[in-house]
Amino acid sequence: MVDTEYARVDDPDEVRRLAGFSPYHLVRDGVDYPATFIVAGDTDPRCPPWHARKFAARLQAATSGDAPVLLHIWRDSGHGWATDKEVLLTQETEWLAFLAKTLGMTPPR
């Protein structure tokens, strides 16, 4: 038996099961997807930025609506604690601003 984290790649049933929860493989053409904001770090060894690029491109091509599908690849940014605190603050601010705009929220005056 091959010990793997998610599935045995030599077992077709396990490969199908794994693909069943892959966001990329679950995208369907012609669906009106909501506004989506995808982020990745260019130096992230666990989640390489090409995964985010490929997913964003697939979602942009598949959606039937006009909601934005945005992608931001952060320079010199890794995974979690590998990212500088100032960069983390900027990242958090950016996705919160995207969420607020998408939901039509405006700051109090």
Select the more confidently predicted residue: 16 or 50: 50
CB contact at 8 A, 41 and 83: yes
- For the full predicted model, state whether its pTM sits above 0.85: no
d(CA 73, CA 78): 10
Closest by CA position to 49, among listed 65, 38, 58, 59: 38
3-state secondary structure of 11: coil
Structure-token pair, residue 46: 């666990």
Structure-token pair, residue 94: 């950016």
pLDDT at 79: 74
Select the more confidently predicted residue: 47 or 53: 53
CB contact at 8 A, 38 and 98: no
Closest by CA position to 38, among listed 57, 21, 22, 19: 57
Structure-token pair, residue 36: 């989506």
